[in-house]
Structures are given as structure tokens and as C-alpha cells.
Structure 1
Amino acid sequence: MDPDDVRRLALPLRDPADLDPLLDRIGDARVVAVGEASHGTHEYYAWRSALTRRLVEERGFGLVAVEGDWPDCRRVDRSVRLRPGGAADPRDALDAIDRWPTWMWANDDVVDFTRWLRGVNAGRPEPERVAFAGLDVYSLWDSMHELLAWLEEHEPGHVAAARRALHCFEPFGEDGAEYAFATRFAPSTCEETVVELLRRLCERRAADDGPGDPDDRDDRFAAEQNAAVVVGAERYYRAMVGSSAESWNVRDEHMADTLDRLLGHTGTKAVVWEHNTHVGDARATDMADAGMTNVGQLLRERYGTGDVVLVGFAGHRGGVVAGREWGAQMERMAVPAAREGSLEALLHEEVGRDALVVVPRGDRPAWLDRRLGHRAIGVVYRPERERWGNYVPTVTGDRYDALLHLEDTTPLQPLHLERPDEHVPPPGHPE
């Protein structure tokens, strides 16, 4: 490997103006998916926000879709779009998030971005305001309760079907693990009732499809999405008792499907915020060997590589907020220097500064085709595993269209500690 090949591609990364080569690569793409190498690092969030601000202001992107729950993000959306009943300060909506790990979205960096977004939207006509939406699948019971409340007010004819779905889940005490365990030993599930409810709502939407009032159409879409979350969550929790690949795929397919619906509903371009393990194309990692797909792969397959840009992050050393176990109280942890032979170590050794790498469209240097370990820190992090774990074998040039490498990182600042009464979802994947 020629070190000059690494240095030539590694452009200086000092301020948002240095993102110009990445914006050139993005061009007229419809979807830009921006990752993070951990869920608890300030610099990943800050640079992702900087890129998103430029895409909103300079390229007309009108949707920010994140790895968060639909009901939580809907409350943030009402605030940033200045919708009736929305919080005057997005911080209040973020601080109310009560599903572990709350720090993923309830942190100072997301507050700064959403306050900025609300300010931008305040100067725009309502139809041109940028939306903020959640793609994830965990909020089965919250979505069920929100859907039921909406139906009681707007479509009482569907309330009975919704109550049947809710009653099906009630014996499990709003515990996904309990439901998953029960479906393993009993032939009956709640699948039929929730799928029927979603079918009825979509049939009604098709019958009523027309110009209508934008607020009414938006609220109906939100109700349908809550129903889709219930369907997806039921599938996810049922898949948990099978292979981890199956439940992973259910979740990522749900997130990709949700983005499809959002793009159709909003008619705009989207920035997606998720972990590298969701954003980077799974086919360029060992995930493919395990039969796993992810959002980045699905986006490329559905929209084509010309309409999708995948952006990853890497960090050499620093600090992070994470839990040592699933559901544990968050901690600020030190992240040691990258493991020898990893992608991060290569960039540190050959470049030694923050850098932007844009993958060439044609011929590219050989180092982008090497399979290197690429660090992935999730909501659970155990630094003692650095010598043998915490790294995903990655062909960088196939996994991403661009990579932001940061030499030194710091933990993000959560809005609050994890609370004793918050909801902890069943143990998930390590990202």
C-alpha cells in the first residue's frame, strides 16, 4: 500500500466549509444517510449536524429522519415545525424521551440542531418547513396508545379493531421480551389483529386520498405510521426468539420502509441519521456473511447508487457516553487509541489529523478495497474488548461514499441521567 494514496484522498477537515467536496459528491441525490461510529460522541453529532445544515440551506433537503422512535420524534417535529401543541423549545420534547438509551437523542448536540431547525422553519411558509421523524421500531405500546387516541377522535369506526389489537398485547404488561417469550411456546400471536388494523387504515386513506387539509393529511399519516410501527414491532419482538440476523433484518427493513413512506408523503429529499452499522452497506462487511441486511444496502437497492450517498464516521481515540450493560446507567468512558491494523489506525498513522475521504467514483486506490477492522461502539461499550471485539471487518470503498475521520473525540452531554422509571426495551443488537 502506498501511503501517498491515503494522504491524497484525506482532505483537511477543520470547519463546515471543508465539506464542499462532499456536497459536490452529493449533487442532486435524493437521500444522504449519515452515520456515527458511536451513539455517544459529541464530534460525530456535531459534524453530522453541520453537514445537515448545509444540505437544508443549500440543497433543499426537507426531512431529517433518525434512528429514534416515531412518537418521541413526532413531538420534536411538532416543535421544530411550529405545529399547534408543539413545545416552544425543542429541548422540552427531547428531555421528555424516556426509553433507554435516552442520551441518543436527549443531548445538547441534538438540542442545538433542533433549535436551529425551528429557527429556520419559523422563516418559511408551513408547506416548506423541514420535518423531523423517527424511523425505529421499538415503540409498540406508545404507538398503540397514540393510534387509539387518534381513532377515538377522528375515526371511531376503527376503534374496535384497535382495541382488539391492544387487548392482545395487554397480558404481557407492555414488555416486548415477555411477548417474544410467549410466542415461542404458544401458536397464537397478535400478528393478525395488527395487520388487519393497518390494512383498514390504508384502505380508508386510499378512499379519501385527495388534496384535503395539509394538517389533516399529516395527522392521518402519523396515525398510519403508528399502526405500521405496531406491525413492525410485533414482527421484531416475535423474531427475537429466532436468529439475531432475523430480528436485525426486520428492524432495518422497517426503518427503510418508513423512509419510503416519508419520502412519498413529504415529496422532498431526506437526510438520515443512524449508526454506521445501519448506514454503511452491509454487503461490504461481515454482516452479509451472517445473512444480515441494513438500511444503507436497502437504500442503494431501492433508489440506486446515484440517488443515495452513504457517509460514515471513524475516530482514533477519545471519549464516549455508553452503558456497560443493556439498560445500565450511562457512563463517560475513555476510548483507547485504535487497534493496530484497523481503518482508524491507518488514517491516524498516515494522515494524523481530522480528514474527509470522498470515495472516487471510478478507479480508486487499493487501500479502499482492503478489508480492515472498523470500530463500532454502540449503546453498550466494554473497552476491555478492544483487543478482540468492537470492530467490524469493512471494505471502506464499498461500504461508504465518504468517511469523516476524527483524531480525538469527546463524550456528548446528555440532558439528564437515566431515570429509574424509564422504559428499557428487550436486549437488542450492540450498535
Structure 2
Amino acid sequence: MATDIEDIARTVDAATVMDLLPARPRMLALGEPTHGEDSLLDLRNALFRRLVEEEGYRTIAIESDCTAGLVVDDHIASAAGAPAEDEVMRRGFSHGFGASAANRELVRWMRAYNDGRPASERLRFAGFDGPLEITAAASPRQALTALHGTLTAWVGAEPLPCTAQTLDRLLGPDDRWTDPGAMWDPAESAGRSAEAAELRLLADDMAALLDAQAPHLATATPRDDWDRARLYARTATGLLRYHACMADPGPSRMARLVALRDRMMADNLLALAERGPVLVHAHNRHLQREKSTMRMGGRELEWWSAGALVSARLGGEYAFLATALGTIRHQGVDTPPPDTVEGLLYALPEAECLVGGRLLAAALQDGLPAPRVSPYHGYFPLDPAHLAENDAIVFVKDMPPPRRAG
């Protein structure tokens, strides 16, 4: 068995990735089994650079706030006049990802790559997560007011369903939306108040007005402005839907919340795919084709990931590379048992390797490996029953201790 795996293990680079795929996919997604490991992001950076240079990808999207990501996109597009790098890292990322040295290096490289290039050849950056954190969701104010202001400028005030003053009154103070207590206590959420219900109708009306004007606006406005207006519409309606679910006391509440989050991710990814080939990086659980699972709040949750939703729409134009790890000793994850997928890969001599998912599943057909059990809640091992649903698996043997951004 080990010999068979050694025969199909390859170097992790752009050429070998493309050799495993029938054609260049419109969306190529690289997952990670845990967050916070800059070594995995270093690998991502190196692979994505080669895919940009050799395969013509022009958008890099990561699991971060989609509206905050606009700050990064503006920064890498201009050699002058953009916010300072420290401010970009602070405002342009969610989930604490702006503190990552590897994410800072990615931003620097994208900005340097764009310097002096015509607009048609420049790289674009995008966050594709909603403005959501594990403990809270953002106020819909930014998305709603930006959508309202854009529509007012483009079609005038008369067709709009309300004034800006009405939006401000219904939104109220932002802390009523961002209260962390609402994640665990539905009664603390403003998501099903009378004002929130009215805002959902208004957001839907404004999104419908934007769609109704598409034949004119899509050609009469700059493409970036049109894309941002659509992003604001998706974010406003998605956030209000999410807040309404936060206020639901029913037993399926948490499962619905994680599903709604991935639905927002999928909608953002599909919009990015409309403008050309996209490289994506996020947790494996958000990109895999099989149903995702997670234990939260004492319940086992199941939902379809953003990757599964996008794959259902794009078919063969979506490709997914899962990443698996051997050890994360600073998190208590030691050498994997030899009868697990990770243990079999750990026996290979390479520090990093790439293995086709279907090839690996075929090599292991004589007996399904045991599922690995992680002592660290933040690390999710591979599911040996779904290896063939990964276009490839990137295996990294050992994680070094974390480093600080600089």
C-alpha cells in the first residue's frame, strides 16, 4: 500500500496541479484543515503566484469579509493614494487574518505585481465571506446605505422604496445588531424586530430594482462599480436573513446559521467567477464537495459548503485541493496513527507532496483507513470515505511553531 502511494505522490507546484485536472478550471480552490498556521499560507502564496504567472488566474479570494476586502483590492490596484499597509491589514481582513505575516506578504506581492501593468492584466483581491464572525454578525448599515446611495446616484430617488433617513431610523444604533450575546441567546437578537422585518423588505426591493436596471446599468457604469453594487445588494439581503435566523429559537438554528453563511460565500464566489478565473483559499469545510460537519453548541451540525454549492453550479469548472497535515505539535497534534490517511502519507519521505484524490482512493481500495481523531478542536482531519471527491490532496508533514507578523 505504501509503495502504491509513493508512486502517485508528486511535488506541490502549479504544473503538477494542472496535470491532475482535465483542463484549467474557472475556479481553483485550495483548502486548509485549520486556521492560524502561516506555513500553510506560505505554501498557498507560492502556489498561487505560480498559478497567476503560468495559468493566467487574475483574482485571489480568501475566507474574509467581502466588504472589508474592498479595502485590500483598492490598495493593490494603486501604487499611490491608497491607505498605508498597516491600515489595510487592519481594516481589510476579518477573523484576525490581517495579523498574519503571510497575508501581509500576499498583499505586498499582489501590489508589486500590479505596479505598472495595464488594468486588464492586474490582479484583483476579494474576501468572499460575509461580514460575520463566530461570535457575532455585522450591522447591515454599511451594505444597505451603500446600496441606497449607489441606486440614488444611478436612477434617482423616485424609484427607491425609502429615503436614507428611513433606513437610518430603522437601523438604529449598530450595537443592537452586533451584540455577541445574540449568537447564543436568540432573545438578544434584533433580527426579528419590526424594524428588521421592514428592512428585509426594503433590501429586497432595492436588490430587485438593481436587477431590473441591469440591462442599462451593466453597460452604462464601470464594471467595478456595477460589481460593487451587486456585492452590497447580496450582503444586505444576506446579513438581514442571517440576523433573522439568529433570532430563531428553534433547534435547527445553528445548522441554519452555518448554512446561510456558506450560501453567502457561494454567491460571492459565483459572482467572482463571472469576471474570470479565480483562485480561492479557505478552510476545507467551506470548500469541500461532500456535506460539511462540525460540533457546535453541543450539537452535531451538517450543511452544504460553499464549495459544494459552487460545484453544483460550475461542474467541472470547479476544482478543489484539500490540505491535510501530519503534526501540529504546538497544538497537541502529534504523529498520526499509521492506519489513518494522514499516517500513510506521513510515512512518505517528502515534507510536502501532492496526491490525486481519486488516485489515492484507488490505491486504498483494499481497505478504508481509520478516521483520524484530532485532540485539537481547531484541526479537522480528512474523511477517508470522501477522498475521491477531492481533485487532489496537498499533504504537509509537520507544522513549525507560529511566527509573528512584521
**TM-score, normalising length from structure 2?**
0.80
**Secondary structure of 1:132 counterpart:** strand
Cα distance 1:82–1:346, how it changes in 2: closer, same or farther (>3 A)? same
- Report the CA distance between 1:80 and its aligned residue: 1.0
User: Which residue of structure 1 lines up, in the alignment, with residue 234 of structure 2?
Assistant: 228
Q: Aligned pair 1:194/2:194, yes or no?
A: no
Whether contact under 8 Å (1:347, 1:405) holds in the other structure is yes
- Report the CA distance between 1:161 and its aligned residue: 4.8
Cα deviations by residue, 1:134-193 (Å, 9 ceiling, x for unpaired): 111125646632652574473562494555445434265232656653569967443223
Whether contact under 8 Å (2:62, 2:281) holds in the other structure is yes
Cα deviations by residue, 1:269-288 (Å, 9 ceiling, x for unpaired): 0011110111122248789x
Whole-Å separation in 1 of the counterparts to 2:218 and 2:366 = 48
Counterpart residue type for residue 198 of structure 1 = A
- Report the CA distance between 1:6 and its aligned residue: 2.0
Whole-Å separation in 1 of the counterparts to 2:362 and 2:208 = 48
Whether contact under 8 Å (2:361, 2:388) holds in the other structure is no
Whole-Å separation in 2 of the counterparts to 1:175 and 1:75 = 21
Cα distance 1:209–1:19, how it changes in 2: closer, same or farther (>3 A)? closer
Cα distance 1:213–1:232, how it changes in 2: closer, same or farther (>3 A)? closer
Q: Aligned pair 1:300/2:299, yes or no?
A: no
User: Which residue of structure 2 lines up, in the alignment, with residue 409 of structure 1?
Assistant: 399
- Report the CA distance between 1:39 and its aligned residue: 1.3
Q: Aligned pair 1:148/2:159, yes or no?
A: no
Whether contact under 8 Å (1:37, 1:44) holds in the other structure is no
- Report the CA distance between 1:218 and its aligned residue: 1.1
Whole-Å separation in 2 of the counterparts to 1:394 and 1:118 = 40
Which residue of the other structure, out of 37, 40, 46, is the alignment partner of 2:42? 46
Whole-Å separation in 2 of the counterparts to 1:149 and 1:372 = 50
Whether contact under 8 Å (2:71, 2:92) holds in the other structure is no
Q: Unmatched 5+ residue regions in structure 2? A: none
User: Which residue of structure 2 lines up, in the alignment, with residue 63 of structure 1?
Assistant: 59
User: Which residue of structure 2 lines up, in the alignment, with residue 397 of structure 1?
Assistant: 387
User: Which residue of structure 2 lines up, in the alignment, with residue 174 of structure 1?
Assistant: 177
Instruction: Give matches, 1:377-392, under 5 Å.
Output: 383=376, 391=381
**Secondary structure of 1:278 counterpart:** helix
Q: Aligned pair 1:129/2:129, yes or no?
A: no
User: Which residue of structure 2 lines up, in the alignment, with residue 314 of structure 1?
Assistant: 324
- Note the aligned Cα RMSD (angstroms): 3.5
Whether contact under 8 Å (1:236, 1:250) holds in the other structure is yes
User: Which residue of structure 1 lines up, in the alignment, with residue 368 of structure 2?
Assistant: 370
Whether contact under 8 Å (1:137, 1:255) holds in the other structure is yes
Counterpart residue type for residue 325 of structure 2 = G
**TM-score, normalising length from structure 1?**
0.76
Counterpart residue type for residue 358 of structure 1 = G
Which residue of the other structure, out of 248, 259, 263, is the alignment partner of 1:249? 259
Q: Unmatched 5+ residue regions in structure 1? A: 320-332, 377-381, 417-431
Whole-Å separation in 1 of the counterparts to 2:46 and 2:366 = 25
- Report the CA distance between 1:133 and its aligned residue: 0.9
Whether contact under 8 Å (1:282, 1:399) holds in the other structure is yes
- Report the CA distance between 1:342 and its aligned residue: 3.5
Whether contact under 8 Å (1:356, 1:404) holds in the other structure is yes
Cα deviations by residue, 1:243-269 (Å, 9 ceiling, x for unpaired): 2221111111111111112222x2x10
**Secondary structure of 1:281 counterpart:** coil
Which residue of the other structure, out of 265, 272, 280, is the alignment partner of 1:272? 280
Counterpart residue type for residue 234 of structure 2 = A
> Aligned pairs, how many?
380
- Name whichever of 183-192 and 227-236 sits farther off: 183-192
Whole-Å separation in 2 of the counterparts to 1:149 and 1:62 = 26
Whether contact under 8 Å (1:147, 1:227) holds in the other structure is yes
Instruction: Give matches, 1:92-107, under 5 Å.
Output: 92-97=87-92, 99=94, 101-102=95-96, 104-107=97-100
Cα distance 1:29–1:406, how it changes in 2: closer, same or farther (>3 A)? same
- Report the CA distance between 1:19 and its aligned residue: 4.2
Cα distance 1:362–1:7, how it changes in 2: closer, same or farther (>3 A)? closer
Cα distance 1:354–1:361, how it changes in 2: closer, same or farther (>3 A)? closer
**Secondary structure of 2:355 counterpart:** strand
Percent identity over the alignment is 22
Whole-Å separation in 2 of the counterparts to 1:292 and 1:209 = 34
Cα distance 1:269–1:77, how it changes in 2: closer, same or farther (>3 A)? same
Whole-Å separation in 2 of the counterparts to 1:369 and 1:93 = 50
Whole-Å separation in 2 of the counterparts to 1:177 and 1:363 = 43
